[in-house]
Amino acid sequence: MRILIVEDDLELNRQLEEACLEAGYVVDKAYDGEEGHFLGDTEPYDAVILDIGLPVMDGITVLENWRKAERKMPVLMLTARDRWSDKVSGIDAGADDYLAKPFHIEEMLARLRALIRRSNGHASSELVCGDIVLDTRTSKVTYKDKPVKLTSHELRLLSYLLHHPGEIISRTELTEHLYDQDFDKDSNTIEVFVGRLRKKLNTDFVETVRGLGYRLQESE
Ligand code: CA
């Protein structure tokens, strides 16, 4: 899952990044509205954390422009104070949730998880495929109720697949959502990670669709 953080407060931006990385997300950062708007307009994100008070272009305008351009990724808006008018403008502009500063990082992460789940049509915090279960709160994976140790790359890949069961996902889409913008994107590495996941999870839960990509079996 790839997250965009748009926050001009350097310290807060750093804290958000640290928390998101620790939670296993891939992170891109912007420090003003113009830069943030550009990234959100051109790169695929699974969720965005967007501050309302930003230099160059304010958060509301950034969000309005994305929505006008049919950019539908879930957006968690950060409001500077507990001002009801900020919340109303944010929701009118198309924010999916908001958080008033100061907030606890844990609450931000919980809201982010819920946004990503809901945008993919999942109500529960556990994602299940056959005998594989991923608890999105703890990032713990079990296979037939036994814990499975995954590297952060493997975990990101599994998480992305579990969020999109039954869909054909191309290698390009996977590389775009599993790596940040600076990563040297080589889609062959995806094949290697899928192979490792199949081995660790001891099952052919993910199908290779020749020439198109991968598809996760849908749970009955
Ligand atoms: Ca700000």
Task: Note residues around ion ligand 1 (Cβ under 5 angstroms).
Answer: 8, 51, 53
CA of 137 to the centre of ligand 1 (A): 28
CA of 9 to the centre of ligand 1 (A): 6
CA of 50 to the centre of ligand 1 (A): 9
Whole-number mean pLDDT of the chain?
Answer: 90
Same domain for 114 and 10, yes or no, is: yes
Q: At what angle do helices 59-68 and 84-93 cross, to 10 degrees?
A: 20
What is the per-residue pLDDT for 43? 94
d(CA 178, CA 72): 19
- Cis amide linkage into residue 74, ω under 30° from 0: no
Final residue before a domain boundary, out of 119, 146, 172 = 119
Q: List pLDDT tens digits, range 124-169.
A: 888 888 889 999 888 899 999 999 999 988 999 999 999 998 899 9
Q: Look up the CATH number of the domain holding residue 78.
A: 3.40.50.2300
What is the per-residue pLDDT for 54? 96
Same domain for 134 and 201, yes or no, is: yes
Final residue before a domain boundary, out of 85, 101, 119 = 119
Final residue before a domain boundary, out of 89, 119, 149 = 119
Same domain for 101 and 17, yes or no, is: yes
What is the per-residue pLDDT for 90? 84
Domain that holds residue 134: 126-216
pLDDT tens, residue order, the chain (220 aa): 999 999 999 999 999 999 999 999 999 999 999 999 999 999 999 999 999 999 999 999 999 999 999 999 999 999 876 677 887 888 888 899 999 999 999 999 999 999 999 888 887 888 888 889 999 888 899 999 999 999 988 999 999 999 998 899 998 899 888 887 766 666 678 888 899 999 998 878 899 998 889 998 776 5
In three-state form (DSSP H/G/I as H, E/B as E, the rest C), the secondary structure along the chain is CEEEEECCCHHHHHHHHHHHHHCCCEEEEECCHHHHHHHHHHCCCCEEEEECCCCCCCHHHHHHHHHHCCCCCCEEEEECCCCHHHHHHHHHHCCCEEEECCCCHHHHHHHHHHHHHHHCCCCCCEEEECCEEEECCCCEEEECCEEECCCHHHHHHHHHHHHCCCCEECHHHHHHHHCCCCCCCCCHHHHHHHHHHHHHCCCCCEEEECCCEEEECCCC
Q: Look up the CATH number of the domain holding residue 196.
A: 1.10.10.10
Same domain for 65 and 141, yes or no, is: no
d(CA 141, CA 168): 22
What is the per-residue pLDDT for 185? 64
Same domain for 31 and 58, yes or no, is: yes
What is the per-residue pLDDT for 187? 60
Domains: count for the chain: 2
Report CA torsion sign: 112, 113, 119, 123. negative
